[in-house]
Chains A and B, each alone.
Chain A
Amino acid sequence: MEVRKPPPVRRLTGNEGSAPRVEVAPPPPGIASHDVASNGNGYRPSSTFAPPPPQTGRDSAIAIDRMEVDELSVAYGAKPAVTSVSLPIRQGEVLALIGPSGCGKTTLLRSLNRLTELTRGASLSGLITLDGVDIATMDPTALRRRVTMVFQQPNPFPMSVFDNVAYVLREQAKRRPRRAAVRGAVRDALARAGLLDEVADNLDHPALRLSGGQQQRLCIARALAAHPEVLLLDEPCSALDPVSTRLIEELIVKLREDVAVVIVTHNLQQAYRIADRVAFMYLGELVEYGSAHRMFGSPREQRTREYVGGAFG
């Protein structure tokens, strides 16, 4: 039976439209084919492949340490969700947390802005620091303005587009600023989120009447309006169509210079397209952490190889 190979996955470089495209093969496990069982279609991943071109500019010294996770363990009641995870989060690169469902990646993400505290019975141990300061000692509201989150389901407020983006600016100022004062910041945030062109003619359009992809970009704009240092994204594209997904992925890659981006995704192709660093988690443990190049090309751990190769997930 003739099995068609999956279409080639192109890595996003953030220069879409200007640089020539380079095609690369889909992420293979990089091991001899007999080590990986074929799936029912008879597809055997090839054992030779062309490694992706070296990342441009990724090795340069632009990555700034923002957060540091040190031996973090989170448990809900008696059930451990995350066990002893340590990794850095840097501005200038996109960190993808990958792993099968229930492996703790969302819990890890939510502990970065202390949203785990909202769940009853959650207990934390270990240290997370933001710019050197232990986040447990910070005011949670202040923390969350510096580390904002975009959720899986777009959740714009039932207000106009303008009010949604201006929400954070209005609510965190000492005195409620006038509309004219925040208009510039709102437009700027919408531009960074790639939504300004579509809504510029009517910023008072009800946010809930936008399409799903537009709503999610609005949520990103809303999160960016606070000028955060770290942007957390919890499977932001899983509820969206492919066109919106692509728009958001390009947006994420453009944002990484200004904010540290951490994205949880169960879509390996997405991680391949946009991540600079990848952390693979399994059953609450951090199995492996490294550059995307290495994780997809030559992972050290057996479990990583199997997951990336599609043996389970």
Chain B
Amino acid sequence: MNEEYFLEQDRDHEFLEGNRGLSHDQRAELGLGALVFVVVGLLVAMLAFVLHEAWPSFAHNGLRWFGGGGSVDQQIQAIFNSGEYKTAPVYTFHAWPLIWSTILITLGAVAIAFVTSLFVAVFIVEFAPAWLRRILEPVVRLLASVPSVIYGLAGVLVIVPLIGNHLITQSEKASVTPTIQLSGASLLAAVLILTVMIAPIMIAVFADGLQAVPRGWLEGSLALGINEWRTFWKVAVRTARPVLVAGTVLATARALGEAIMVGMVSGGVGFAPNPIDGLVFFFEPSQPLAAAIIRNTEGLSSPPMKHTLYAIAAVLLFSSAMLSVIGWAAKQPMRRYAVVS
């Protein structure tokens, strides 16, 4: 520690200058506290604003906002027109196809990514040869910071044509022609790209958590005659469960809010994919909530449209807040046997 720090500038020494009104510390505390207050206030104001703007759409539709019925695309068009052309405002909106699409794509990607990332993280931390680990760690971090639009680009240029031209047969395309077009921009493409995007994030978080497990526990388990796999699985992975939860919540929040990339590859049609369709189910286009907002922002000048878009935003906000709460709740029972900190 440099001694200069302690020598100079009388104004840092309170007792030398006597009490002139508020002390330095009190001024600083007030100033910084005001800053925090302003920022928090801004965030709260934003939340309130979103809810306030969303209210008309919810009020007009009630719970049927979340239900199905009618074509979402047509409804959006009607809403926009009513505001644009100053006729009686139309708010009818049944967002179920969008919600269903969001659920399918997000949960599908998170499920695949979770299993994959857990095993890859275990591999990287414990079983990979040292030279491979040294390469993989920066690569994982690099992949985790790739902008999502670039993944979207790869998706549109590689995955979508691959699915459209090689995986979907002509007969499948014909089977749904009147309703929708199967072009490769589909549920499958969206889930794949989203998985590729969130997996590195999860791997990075999981690997950090696994590495933080004290080696003494692992050595103790090995010394009891338990093999390496079982030792790592039963001791390290079990200990790192809170980290697994945290990483999953983080990745799910990212997946939920991913509008640009998913919008590029999911098809942009307000259609609810139907599992009954069999294999074609995976190739059906759809539009998740976040992408719906992006696609329709030109219509913001039309008031009913604005309210509808804010309603969708409110649903997204609420979902990510709920995720945090679920994550917190999931971690509570794990604290009982954990390290006394």
- Where the two chains meet, the residues of A that have a C-beta atom closer than 8 Å to any C-beta of B are 113, 115, 118, 141-146, 148-149, 151, 153, 155, 157-160, 167-168, 171-172, 206-209, 219, 222-223, 226
Contact = CB atoms under 8 A, between A and B. Distances in A.
B224 A151 contact: no
A141 B226 contact: yes
Contacts of A153: 216
Given A153-B216, A172-B226, A208-B338, 6 more contacts: A141-B225, A157-B235, A209-B340, A219-B220, A222-B224, A226-B225
Interface residues of B, number: 22
Interface string B213-251: 010110111111111001000110011000000000000
Contacts of A148: 223-225
29 contacts: A113-B223, A115-B219, A141-B226, A143-B225, A144-B224, A145-B224, A145-B225, A146-B225, A151-B220, A153-B216, A155-B216, A155-B217, A157-B221, A157-B235, A158-B339, A159-B337, A167-B221, A171-B226, A171-B230, A171-B234, A172-B225, A206-B336, A206-B337, A207-B337, A208-B338, A208-B340, A222-B224, A223-B224, A226-B224
Contacts of A155: 214, 216-217, 219-220
Given A158-B239, A208-B340, A151 B223 contact: yes
A257 B225 CA distance: 22
A125 B166 CA distance: 60
A146 B225 CA distance: 8
A117 B301 CA distance: 71
A209 B338 CA distance: 9
Interface of B: 214, 216-217, 219-227, 230, 234-235, 238-239, 336-340
Nearest to A205: B337
Contacts, number: 70
Task: Pick the 6 closest A-B CB pairs, nearest first.
Answer: A145-B225, A144-B225, A149-B223, A155-B216, A155-B220, A206-B337
Q: Which residue, B226, B238, B239, has most C-beta atoms of chain A within 10 A?
A: B226
B288 to A, nearest CB: 39
A262 to B, nearest CB: 13
For the residues of B in contact with A, the DSSP-based class is helix
Nearest to A145: B225
B214 to A, nearest CB: 7
Given A157-B217, A158-B239, A144 B223 contact: yes
B337 A168 contact: no
A217 B294 CA distance: 62
For the residues of A in contact with B, the DSSP-based class is helix
B224 A115 contact: no
B161 to A, nearest CB: 48
Given A157-B217, A158-B339, A208-B339, A168 B223 contact: no
Contacts of B223: 113, 115, 144, 148-149, 151
B219 to A, nearest CB: 7
Contacts of A208: 337-340
A39 B302 CA distance: 95
Contacts of A151: 216, 219-220, 223
Contacts of B339: 158, 208
A219 B223 CA distance: 11
B145 to A, nearest CB: 32
A168 B216 contact: no
Contact of A158 (B224, B225, B230, B337): B337
A75 B287 CA distance: 64
A172 B224 CA distance: 10
A172 B226 CA distance: 7
A222 B225 CA distance: 12
Contacts of B224: 144-145, 148, 167-168, 222-223, 226
Nearest to B224: A168
Given A144-B224, A167-B224, A168-B224, A158 B219 contact: no
Contacts of B214: 155
B227 A141 contact: yes
Contacts of B220: 151, 155, 157, 219
A232 to B, nearest CB: 8
A169 B234 CA distance: 13
A222 B226 CA distance: 13
